[in-house]
Structure 1
Amino acid sequence: MTDAVKTDPRAGSTLIEMMAVMVIIAMLASLVGVLLPGTGRGRLKALTLQTAAMMRRERLVAVLTGSSRRISLDTSARTLVGDSGVIAIPRDVVVDVVGVDETWAGRQAVVRFEPDGASTGAAVKFSWDKVRYEVDVSWYNGRVAVDLQ
């Protein structure tokens, strides 16, 4: 004789319980991505685009106000400092600036935008773990271009 196993129709997990477990796992996975050290390709790209946006903004303000605007690099604080704001550079990102060989307010000069739209010209390269992005500023017309290779 076989003994029939009696099952309770209320036994087992419900769909709501399964969804709750999936939400908890998703939250933990997202925290792991945020808490891992290092900049990563996405953050490096964001840093490059923020830098280009600040340069475009400084150029536009120089043209609209008729006054020169400057962006410089504070190497000790690892920040790009413009007249309109500051951008922090992560410690694991290498910064290479090709531009004016001057010092403004104790910081390395990056670029100056003139009221006619022209600039001193510059190239700012950000690199991390074999990834390199670049922001180029034309000296002739102040055009800001981004190279995301």
Structure 2
Amino acid sequence: MQIFPSGTNKPQRGFTLLEVLLVLVIGGLLVGAVATSLSEGPVLRKSGREVAASLRHARAQAVMRQQPTLWKMNIQEKRFWIDGGAANAERSLSPSIEAKINTTSAEVDAANQGGIRFFPDGSSTGGSVELTHNKQTFKVNVEWVTGRVAIQ
């Protein structure tokens, strides 16, 4: 008569329930952290593009109307607009964004408000606007000779 062994001496393979749950919790935390960091970037990028578009619009108005046009920003209230433009053209930045404007002293109205002036030939007083959100910075530069607006 043959005898068949009822068990094997091989060690068990697989994961315990505790190990699986631990991996799922760590994975969930990582996905949450990545999703949060990815969602903050577009806010800054969108704001940078809005500021750049507004500056380009001010330059185009100056050239088209053949008269100087002033683009203004209030960094405390986080608002920007084209001086003398339509009342509904004023834009606001997200409250979480920090703003700085670097411009000539002639275009500074107060400690928290300054502007960039565009001239009929397309040139400008020059300057830059820095937008910062969670240690990321977008800089919108305006060249004084050409009035060209570029995002860095």
Aligned partner letter, 2:102: V
CA contact (8 A) 1:74 1:81 kept: no
1:132 aligns with 2:118: no
More helix by share: 2
Aligned partner letter, 1:71: W
RMSD: 2.1
CA contact (8 A) 1:113 1:119 kept: yes
Q: Structure 2 stretches of 5 or more lacking a match? A: 1-35
Which of these residues, 95, 104, 107, is aligned with residue 91 of structure 1? 95
Q: Offset at 1:82?
A: 1.4
Aligned partner letter, 1:78: K
TM-score by length of 1: 0.66
SS in 2 for 1:95: strand
2:42 and 2:66 mapped to 1: Cα distance? 36
Which of these residues, 124, 136, 151, is aligned with residue 146 of structure 1? 151
CA contact (8 A) 2:75 2:101 kept: no
SS in 2 for 1:57: helix
2:111 and 2:98 mapped to 1: Cα distance? 20
CA contact (8 A) 1:124 1:135 kept: yes
1:100 aligns with 2:104: yes
TM-score by length of 2: 0.65
1:71 aligns with 2:76: no
Q: Structure 1 stretches of 5 or more lacking a match? A: 1-35
Aligned partner letter, 1:96: K
Larger radius of gyration: 2
Runs of 4+ in 1 over 6 A off after TM superposition: none
Aligned partner letter, 1:123: S
Identity %: 25
